[in-house]
Amino acid sequence: MYKSVVIPGEEIGTAEEFICGYGTFERDGKIFASIVGVLKIDENERRADIIPINPPPIIRRNSTVYGVIEDIKPAMAIVDVVSVDNKLREIAGTTQGTIHVSKISQKYVENVGAMLRIGDIVRAGVLQSSPTLQLYISAEHLGVIKAYCIKCRKPLIRRGETLYCENCDRVETRKIANDYGQIIPEWEKKA
């Protein structure tokens, strides 16, 4: 059985009627909602659960994430991850991941700075989410999806396998995704 939307602190039953499930807690023999969601009662198990309406995104292995290159080291890039693909809700707080030089391309890359720059927006796959977030961009659909000129900070346009600044007449290299410049993540549209 499903009930309407409940809010944190709303009483949903007693400990004599149900056992606490996901999104609930018990106090003084009463069961309350701890999150916003839809109340689900399992009649067979006599269990009360709250199904979240808009759960926070969870980064898992094999997820696809979007982020901004925050720092470059010779052997790795540090990425501020801001969203998970196919999730409307942004990630709360700061979530940083790393892209090791060996996970940038299927070809040999000697230095991360040759393929990524601070401020680049990337789409990356998740190799590992715990204890540290490790990302990769070596697949064809992963990599830089938007980049800015290192000299004038104007957006770069794709010309074959390189990026071009119309303002400075500069050519720059990146590990670009196959759909570079064709998509804009939801979180960037709001900026």
pTM to 2 decimals? 0.72
Q: Which two tokens stand for residue 188?
A: 């960037």
Fold match flag (2-52 vs 64-189): yes
pLDDT of the residue at 188: 59
Q: What is the CATH number of domain 2-52?
A: 2.40.50.100
Q: Would you kindly state where each structural domain of the chain is located, as residue ranges?
A: 2-52, 64-189
Please write the tens of the pLDDT for every residue from 39-61.
998 889 999 999 888 777 888 89
Q: What is the CATH number of domain 64-189?
A: 2.40.50.140
Largest CA distance in the chain: 74
Taking residues 8-18, what's their average pLDDT?
Answer: 89
Please write the tens of the pLDDT for every residue from 82-139.
888 877 666 766 689 999 999 999 899 889 999 999 999 999 999 998 899 999 999 9
